[in-house]
Amino acid sequence: MSKPYTLQELLIITAAREIHDYEKVILGVGLPTTAGALAKALYAPHAILMMESGIIDFKPLVPLNHIADVHAIRGFKYATDLFSMFTMTYRGFVDVCFLGVAQVDRFGNVNTTCIGDYYHPVKRLPGAGGAPDFISYAKRTVLTMLGGEFVERLDYFTSPGYLTGGSTRDDTGWYPQGTGPKTIITTQGVFGFDEKTKEVYLAQIHPRVRLEDIKKRVPWELKISPDLKETVPPSAEEIDFIRRFAPAQAIGRKLAMELVIKNSLKGGKDTSSKN
Amino acid sequence: MTQASKVMSAQEAIERFVPDGCELAIGNYTVGSCMELVSEIVRQGKRNLTVYSQSGVIDVEVLVAGGCVKRLVTTYVYRGGGREGGSSVERALRNRTLEIEDYTNFEYCARLMAGVHGFPFMPVLEGVRPTDLFHKRSFLGEDKYRIISCPYTGREVLTVPAANPDVCIVHVQRADREGNAQYWGAMGSVAYAALASKSIVVSCEQIVSEDIIESSPHLTIIPAFRVNAVVEIPWGAHPMEVIGHYNRDIMMYSIFARACSDERRMKEWMEEWVLSQLSRESYLEHYIEKFGLHSLNRLKARPYYSAPADYGAAFTSMWDEHGRERNMGITREELEDFLRERGELYE
């Protein structure tokens, strides 16, 4: 038995394992920044972490609140601006990019803008941010989905995956060959994209997850890899890193917020003298 | 003739430079936003603004909840409480009191970049063409994007129009009395939002002397001659964060996040933290009264200084310590004698 972990921890750890040493990595808001910190600490010490706010080459000390959080790092090596960060990506200098997903379709197209009608939405989600630009030009993109959903048809098409599958993305001439989403990581498993059809398939299943439960959340007949693997359970070292580095992310946003508010009602426990 | 001082209160700056119905750019991006200037706009009941925001967080939420915004040009909006929660932006869209035009981060920034440099448009990254960002258009209609033919390659080029908002409000670490504004940290599009705009209102944590600015020009993102108003507001971004001054107030942010998912609670939050406060001083007094001084103190940054950049040079006068010109090797008297001898002095 491995050390007990939460689903958020498993997702972060699985994402971190996608980062290879010496890669130039764009980290999106939320869990990816913690995945970057974990990778840099444990497996990819030379990875260059970057964020679209223009912060390049940093080592996080505490979890980042957002993609412009210089408070969470002690210095960084290059301070550029948002415009240059994207033209750098356009020119092919970014290896891998991590993006969060609210809705994703069978060809890896993504919605992070709204649920329902765009002009008068049921839910207005954050929006595009830099996602469409990064998924267009980063050499590969890793999608992370926590609480999002697979859908037959996106309510809003925010970021281009493989369009209508096959060679349709490449055929437009708008994207460097070979770019696009490579993986979707959820709290249940890891999905890949078929080399030819570009349709999503289940590549890896997380420990103690049942295949039926994954299928239930996909509204079409999900393809399964013939050599479906089980995700290697998180190591004690990986779990310890996250608990130490990002305790609030380990337990999840909702529970963390509950504790923060509880603490504030007690008058805000003063921890300043101890840290 | 002496110029009237640009140093003024937030109240005066907003009264003078943010008229109803104007195009207002929020200069800050995700971090350190100009929260006191935003609060003042709400208190003055400004209406029908078209707001430009690279990434709308609590600042856009407060402006929308305050009923100030008619149109929003942005790439990202805040959603308190995550997926289950809601936001003032969401409610305003649903109630049809707000129109939104969504861009990607790069395209939004490219509109400002064109504006900064006086160009009519900017080429942008064509990857967005199959998406709804390109297809679904709001108040900008056809002018959200246009496609032109590159005169050199003949290829299709996607473009966005320049943006030159009427006024930019922006919070920075420090500025001098003339308005030279210094900002460091996540550069985002802060400088572009300001420089693209027709007027600029700068709020800062601290007004500093001219010589501090002169010894660190690499930190200046807006030159004085472009700035119309300078407002000194310590804690001017709270509950957001300013590097070198204070961290984000997670407790206050969590309270806000919960409030903005619900209309009634948001109203109460606005009443308590925006409308009932006359200024940042009274806001801080209320905060300290409610949560204790320690809650504020624990946010204060501990210094981590940038290594000074040496702007030193070999000399500061053309005359050396012996009174000789450094390159010609002669004294002032010798110089005059020489000119007289050559018949170049008109006496």
Structure tokens at B54: 């690279």
Task: Tell me what percent of the residues of chain B surpass a pLDDT of 90.
Answer: 94
Instruction: Give the rounded percent of residues in chain A with a pLDDT score beyond 70.
Output: 96
pLDDT category at B287 given cuts 50, 70, 90 is very high
pLDDT given at position A1: 57
At A273 the pLDDT is 43
Give me the residue spans of the domains in chain A.
7-274
DSSP letter for A124, please: E
| Distance (Å, whole) CA A158 – CA B104 | 9
Q: In this predicted structure, what is the pLDDT of residue A49?
A: 95
Q: Is A65 on the interface with B (CB under 8 A)?
A: yes
B16-63 pLDDT, tens digit per residue, is 999 999 999 999 999 999 999 999 999 999 999 999 999 988 999 999
Beta strands in chain B (DSSP E): 23-26, 49-53, 69-74, 99-102, 121-123, 146-149, 156-161, 167-175, 181-182, 199-207, 220-222, 229-232
The two tokens of residue B307 are 């290594």
Q: Please report the residues numbered 234 through 293 in chain B whose beta carbons come closer than 8 angstroms to any beta carbon of chain A.
A: 241, 243, 247-248, 250-251, 254-255, 257-258, 291-292
Are A126 and B79 in contact (CB < 8 Å)? yes
Closest partner CB to A272 (pick from B126, B243, B297): B297
Q: Check A51 against B186: CB less than 8 A apart.
A: yes
Q: What is the pLDDT of residues A6-38, one digit of tens each?
A: 989 999 999 999 999 999 999 987 788 899 999
Task: Specify the residue for token string 């500093």.
Answer: B208
Give the pLDDT score at A275.
37
CB of B163 within 8 A of CB of B112?
yes
Question: CB under 8 Å, gap of 24 or more: what pairs does A35-39 form?
Answer: A35/A98, A35/A144, A36/A60, A36/A98, A37/A63, A37/A241, A37/A245, A37/A246, A38/A12, A38/A13, A38/A238, A38/A241, A38/A242, A38/A245
Domains of chain B: 10-232 (3.40.1080.10), 313-347 (no CATH)
At residue A268, the pLDDT reads 54
CB–CB of B105 and A133 under 8 A? yes
Q: What is the ipTM of this complex?
A: 0.93
Shortest distance, CA B222 to any CA of chain A (angstroms) = 15
Among the listed residues B147, B152, B205, the one whose alpha carbon sits nearest the alpha carbon of residue B28: B205
Distance from CA of A223 to the nearest CA of B (A): 26
Mean pLDDT of the residues in chain A: 92
Q: What mean pLDDT is predicted for residues A267-273?
A: 52
- Contacting residues of A for B247, CB less than 8 Å apart: 71
> C-alpha dihedral over B194, B197, B198, B204, to 10 degrees?
-20
Q: Following CA atoms A40, A53, A142, A218 in sequence, which dihedral angle do they give, to the nearest 10 degrees? A: 130
Q: Which of B61, B104, B144, B183 to mutate to test the interface with A (most CBs of A within 10 A)?
A: B104
Q: In this predicted model, what pLDDT tens digit does every residue of A101-114 receive, in sequence order?
A: 999 999 999 999 99
Lowest average pLDDT, out of A2-11, A90-99, A167-176, B161-170, goes to: A2-11
B26 touches chain A (CB under 8 A): no
What band does A258 get if pLDDT is binned at 50, 70 and 90? confident
For an interface test with B, give the residue of A29, A59, A83, A120 to mutate (most B CBs within 10 A). A83
Q: In the predicted model, is pLDDT for residue A272 greater than 60?
A: no
pLDDT band at A262 (very low <50, low <70, confident <90, very high): confident
At A257, is the pLDDT very low, low, confident or very high (cuts 50, 70, 90)?
Answer: confident
- pLDDT tens sequence across B178-196: 999 999 999 999 999 999 9
Pairing between β-strand A103-104 and β-strand A110-111 as defined by DSSP bridges = antiparallel
Is the model's pLDDT at B1 over the cut of 70? no
- pLDDT tens digits, B73-94: 999 999 886 777 799 999 999 9
Q: What is the pLDDT of residues B194-208, one digit of tens each?
A: 999 999 999 999 999
What is the set of active-site residues of A? 52
Which of these ranges, A210-214, A256-260, B20-24, B67-71, has the smallest mean pLDDT?
A: A256-260
Q: Measured on CA atoms in the order A19, A25, A26, A32, is the torsion positive or negative?
A: positive
Strand order in the sheet with A140-145: A78-79, A55-56, A48-51, A24-27, A96-100, A140-145, A181-186, A189-193, A200-205, A223-230
Give B201 to chain A, closest Cα distance, Å.
21
Give, in words, the CATH class of A7-274.
Answer: alpha beta
Look at B83 and A123 and tell me if their CB atoms are within 8 Å: yes
Q: How close does chain B come to A255, measured CA to CA in Å?
A: 11
